[in-house]
């Protein structure tokens, strides 16, 4: 065999050896991944829905891979039985009250089984069935995101319609945005509010100054009313007098009411005078007759003064009255 054939065979043997080594390394890694070279126990979990879980998917405990899914079988029309192959050395960390739930490797990665250790401190045995914990799966999150996206699209469409109506000037807000008159009125209203606020501040300052003056002016009536304790007695006395006067006025009012009722009755003289029309006419005739008699008496007196028999008498009486008047005037002047 030539030297060239030897080199070719050696090269071929080298590649074969490299292939065998790579194969063995692959077998080792695959066996390690599937726990082919470790002592394992089998645990069972029942799920309503496994969301695409397959044989060979990983089993995790506290973030550490401890086994794989060995089988997925339909137990009933509503339950799926999942068999887990878990390393025997990790059995002590899985308690009787442990819970398993479906997870995923990343957001859209393969489905996995995640085990929560539990609190009972009693490890599971080979062949035990552990409890199930239901959580929101990646599929649920995707469906929720899809629903939220559809709602967002609907909301965006509604916002577009509202924006278009605002731009067209429809509705109250649209009118406020497009009508310059309303904007001017709004600015005028704001100016008026600002002016009112300024006046209110000024008034508040004036009130504060007035209160300060009232507190510092010890000679004023307001300060006396607020701080003079002796005035309280005077004030109470005045109130008592007012109450007494009010009571007396009420009593007088009652008496006037009773007097009015008596005057309106016809069984007394005043009532007859006020309410009997016949008596009123008689009284009027009497007054007329008295006036007529007085007039005639005056006429008779004038006639007597003109009579020659009584003329001297009336003249002497007149001179006496004149002297009396002059004497009274002189007495007044002397004083």
> Would you say 70 and 83 are in contact if contact means Cβ atoms under 8 Å apart?
yes
> Would you say 138 and 102 are in contact if contact means Cβ atoms under 8 Å apart?
no
* Each residue's pLDDT tens digit, 44-65: 999 998 888 899 899 999 889 9
Distance between CA atoms of residues 334 and 331, nearest Å: 5
**Residue 70 binned pLDDT confidence (cut-offs 50, 70, 90):** very high
Average of per-residue pLDDT across 116-121: 88
* Each residue's pLDDT tens digit, 272-328: 556 666 766 776 777 777 777 777 767 666 666 665 555 666 677 777 778 887 777
Residue 272, burial from CB neighbour count under 10 angstroms (0-12, 13-18, 19+): middle
> Would you say 124 and 95 are in contact if contact means Cβ atoms under 8 Å apart?
yes
Locate the domains of the chain by residue range.
40-135, 154-290
> Would you say 289 and 281 are in contact if contact means Cβ atoms under 8 Å apart?
no
Question: Six-digit token pair at 267?
Answer: 């069984």
236 membership: H or E segment, kind and range: helix 230-264
> Would you say 113 and 58 are in contact if contact means Cβ atoms under 8 Å apart?
yes
> Would you say 211 and 204 are in contact if contact means Cβ atoms under 8 Å apart?
no
Least confident of 111-115, 230-234, 319-323: 230-234
Least confident of 15-19, 116-120, 238-242: 238-242
> Would you say 87 and 39 are in contact if contact means Cβ atoms under 8 Å apart?
yes
Distance between CA atoms of residues 200 and 197, nearest Å: 5
Average of per-residue pLDDT across 20-30: 77
Question: Six-digit token pair at 64?
Answer: 């550490």
Task: Name the maximum alpha-carbon separation found in the chain.
Answer: 216
């Amino acid at each position: 065999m030539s030297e060239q054939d030897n080199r070719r065979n050696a090269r071929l043997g080298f590649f074969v050896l490299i292939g065998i080594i790579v194969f063995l390394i692959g077998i080792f890694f695959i066996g390690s991944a599937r726990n082919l070279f470790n002592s394992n126990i089998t645990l069972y979990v029942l799920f309503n829905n496994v969301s695409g879980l397959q044989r060979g998917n990983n089993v995790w405990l506290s973030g550490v891979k401890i086994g794989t899914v060995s089988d997925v079988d339909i137990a009933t029309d509503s339950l799926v039985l999942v068999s887990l192959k878990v390393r025997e050395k990790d059995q002590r960390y899985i308690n009787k009250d442990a819970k398993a739930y479906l997870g995923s490797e990343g957001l859209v990665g393969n489905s996995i089984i995640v085990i929560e250790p539990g609190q009972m401190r009693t490890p599971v045995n080979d062949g035990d069935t552990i409890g199930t914990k239901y959580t929101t799966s990646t599929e649920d999150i995707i469906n929720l995101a899809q629903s939220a996206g559809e709602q967002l699209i609907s909301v965006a469409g509604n916002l577009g319609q509202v924006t278009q109506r605002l731009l067209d000037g429809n509705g109250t807000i649209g009118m406020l945005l497009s009508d310059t008159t309303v904007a001017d009125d709004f600015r005028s209203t704001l100016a008026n509010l600002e002016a009112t606020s300024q006046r209110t501040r000024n008034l508040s300052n004036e009130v504060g100054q007035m209160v300060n003056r009232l507190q510092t002016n010890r000679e004023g009536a307001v300060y006396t009313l607020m701080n003079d304790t002796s005035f309280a007695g005077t004030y109470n006395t005045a109130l008592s007098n007012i109450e007494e006067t009010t009571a007396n006025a009420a009593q007088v009012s009652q008496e006037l009411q009773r007097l009015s009722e008596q005057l309106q009755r016809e069984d007394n003289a005043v009532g007859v005078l006020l309410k009997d029309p016949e008596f009123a006419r008689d009284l009027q005739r009497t007054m007329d007759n008295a006036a007529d008699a007085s007039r005639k008496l005056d006429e008779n007196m004038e006639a007597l003064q003109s009579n020659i028999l009584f003329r001297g008498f009336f003249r002497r009486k007149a001179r006496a009255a004149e002297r009396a008047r002059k004497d009274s005037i002189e007495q007044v002047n002397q004083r």
